[in-house]
Amino acid sequence: MSNTTSLTQMEQAKPRRATRAGRPSFADSQEKTILDLLIEAKSLGVSKKFLIFELGFTQCSARIHFLERRGYKIRHEMRPGDRYTTFVLESSPERDTPLPTYEKKGPDARQETLSRDWLEESAGRKRPARLTDADAGPLFAGVRS
């Protein structure tokens, strides 16, 4: 690993403000930098200490997690005498699995059960349009107008 490569990668991966709630705008460049470092380091791995304190990637575990979700097999190991995890790339996917998009896809079929009235489902009768004093019970008798 050359110093110029690391410095260039650090400049490219500097944090910028998030464009929307959730995933920050710099997450993609940090993931690319971490992946490049893992590929370059091979079995030596990349220390979480290096990612946090040298590169300033305080959310490096989240970036590793997203790489794993995309299909990369990354081993997390605690080496004797180290206080920080070392990440080692074991294998890459044959093709990149895209991350899910978080856009609304339309109505959710699972929500249909929530729209039905529980009284109709459990008791088998319609809910009265308006409760009368007799329906409200003795606690609320005479309170309604």
The pTM score is 0.56
Residue from 92, 90, 37 nearest 60 by CA? 37
- The answer as to whether 65 is a domain residue is yes
Q: How far is CA 87 from CA 65, 77, 112, in A?
A: 11, 7, 44
| pLDDT value, residue 11 | 58
Q: What confidence tier does 118 reach under pLDDT thresholds 50, 70, 90?
A: confident
* pLDDT tens digits along 20-54: 456 788 999 999 999 999 999 999 999 999 999 99
Cα 133 to the center of its chain, rounded Å: 51
Residue 78 forms part of a structural domain = yes
Answer yes or no: is 53 within a domain. Answer: yes
Task: Indicate whether 73 belongs to any domain.
Answer: yes
Distance (Å, whole) CA 48 – CA 36: 15
pLDDT for res 119? 75
Q: Is residue 119 part of a domain?
A: no
**Domain CATH for 71:** 1.10.10
Write phi, then psi, for 17 (nearest 5 degrees): -65, 150
Q: Is 142 helix (H, G, I), strand (E, B) or coil?
A: coil
Residue 98 maps to a domain:
no
14 band by pLDDT with thresholds 50, 70 and 90:
low
Euclidean distance between CA atoms 134 and 131, whole angstroms: 8
Q: What is the DSSP letter of 76?
A: E
Q: Residue 98: which pLDDT band, with cuts at 50, 70 and 90?
A: confident
Asked if the structure places residue 38 within a domain, the reply is yes
Examine residue 47 and state whether it is found in any structural domain, yes or no. Answer: yes
Residues making up the chain, counted from first to last = 145
* Mean pLDDT of all residues in 135-142: 67
- Among residues 109, 50, 97, the alpha carbon closest in space to that of 71 is found at 97
- Counting residues of the chain whose pLDDT is more than 70, the rounded percentage is 61
Say if residues 16 and 29 touch (Cβ distance below 8 Å).
no
* Domain with 66 in it: 3-15+23-91
Instruction: Supply 73's token pair.
Output: 């097999």
Number of structural domains found in the chain: 1
Band of pLDDT at residue 18, cut at 50, 70 and 90: very low
